[in-house]
Structure 1
Amino acid sequence: MPKLVDHEERRAHIIDALLRAAANTGLHSVTMRSVAVEAGISVRLVQYYFDTKEQLLLAAMTRLTTRMGERIQHRLRGTGATPDPRAVIEAVLLEAVPTDEESRVFHLVHTEYAVLSVTDPALGGRPFLAAPDAMEAFLVTHLTAARDAGTADPDLDPRHEAVVLLAASAGLGLSVLLGQRTPEDATAVLRYHLGRVLPTRPATTQDGPPA
């Protein structure tokens, strides 16, 4: 009896092959053929699941975004059953710092994709911006909660601060990719700035896990 094909598993296998190829040679040089070679399958099979390279890239970005969310949830589980707003915000920001191979690949591919999307309309647009917009809204919610709970300056503008925090974390993440500073240095800077934005914490709150 022929073996049944798990199509989602096959799609994931192809996407992972693209990510490995992109991490090794750069996203700009990835082709359907190079992905097929990396995956150990035919180009025709890659094209069966993804009609174009753009479709494959979009699927890869969706997979990376989902995985990033899972990593943030893992960090939050280490802060206790009911993490306070600062613990939540810290968990989100620290995921912008490449500290292991998976996060390095995420930020490398994400950064390359963003640059390519500037000149390729097929890669840009609202679908790509949906995740950053959602992250900004998420931080605004928790910064507002911190301000209302009295653990932040009552004059804090949650939206403006969310923009600043995300920009700072993205810039620090890039500096780690470039070798300008270590993950430990970038983490220390993020925690320093977050301590200025949210200077007090409830006495029962545990510190988040180390990066």
Structure 2
Amino acid sequence: MPKLVDHEERRAHIVDALLRTAADSGLHAVTMRSVATAAGVSVRLVQYYFDTKEQLLLAALTRLAVRMGERIRDRVGAVGSSTAPRDVVEAVLLEAVPTDEESRTFHLVYTEYAVLSVTDPVLAGQSFLAAPDEMEGFLVGQLTAAQQAGATDPRLDARQEAVVLLAVSAGLGLSVLLGQRTADDAAAVLRYHLARVFPGRGAA
């Protein structure tokens, strides 16, 4: 009896091959053939699941979005639902720092997508590239909760502080990608800044 084909598993395998290729050589170097080679399948099979390179790129962007969301939820879940807002904020922002091969691939490829979206209207319209806006709203909520709990200065502008925190974490993540500092050094800088924002550690 012939083995049943798991089409979703095959699609995911091909998309993961694109992400590896992009992380190694850059999105500009990605072709259907290079992805097929990395996946160990034929070009025809890649084209069976993705009619065009654009479809493949969009599928990879969606894959990044799903995996990033899972990693953030795992981090937040690890600190517990009753944890102080400061610890939740730290857990979320640390996800912007590449600490393993998967997160390095994510941040490297995401940065390339973001740059391409400046001139590519199709990519510019993808909701995942608006993720920083959603994260900003989440951080505003955590900062507001911290103010109500007495864990940070009530005079702080929660919206402006959220923008600063995102900029700091993104910049630190990029500095790790560029080899300017280690992930541990970046995390230490982030925690230093958070200690100034949250001089107290009130409960949520």
Q: Provide TM-score, normalisation by structure 1.
A: 0.89
8 Å contact 2:65–2:128 — kept in the other structure?
no
Distance 2:75 2:189 in 1: 19
More moved, 183-192 vs 52-61: 52-61
Distance 1:134 1:118 in 2: 19
Question: Does 1:36 find its partner at 2:36?
Answer: yes
Partner of residue 24, structure 2: 24
Aligned counterparts, 1:77-88, within 5 A: 77-88=77-88
1:78 deviation in Å? Answer: 3.2
Distance 1:123 1:51 in 2: 17
Question: Does 1:144 find its partner at 2:144?
Answer: yes
8 Å contact 1:97–1:173 — kept in the other structure?
yes
Partner of residue 49, structure 1: 49
More moved, 59-68 vs 20-29: 59-68
1:171 deviation in Å? Answer: 0.7
Q: Provide TM-score, normalisation by structure 2.
A: 0.92
Percent identity between the two aligned chains = 75
Q: Which amino acid aligns with 2:31?
A: T
Q: Which amino acid aligns with 1:171?
A: G
Distance 2:127 2:77 in 1: 29
Aligned counterparts, 1:176-195, within 5 A: 176-195=176-195
3-state secondary structure, aligned to 1:119: coil
Partner of residue 130, structure 1: 130
Q: Which amino acid aligns with 2:150?
A: G
1:75 deviation in Å? Answer: 2.5
Aligned residues: 204
Question: Does 1:61 find its partner at 2:94?
Answer: no
Distance 1:72 1:193 in 2: 20
Per-residue CA distance 1:41-70 (angstroms, 9 max, x = gap)? 122221222222222222212222222222
Partner of residue 97, structure 1: 97
Distance 2:112 2:161 in 1: 26
| Structure 1 alignment gaps of length 5 or more | 206-211
Distance 2:165 2:132 in 1: 12
Partner of residue 168, structure 1: 168
Runs of 4+ aligned residues of structure 1 deviating over 6 Å after TM superposition are: none
Distance 2:126 2:64 in 1: 17
8 Å contact 1:54–1:123 — kept in the other structure?
no
Partner of residue 76, structure 2: 76
Distance 1:146 1:20 in 2: 39
More moved, 86-95 vs 193-202: 193-202
Partner of residue 11, structure 2: 11
1:22 deviation in Å? Answer: 0.9
More moved, 161-170 vs 40-49: 40-49
Distance 2:87 2:169 in 1: 15
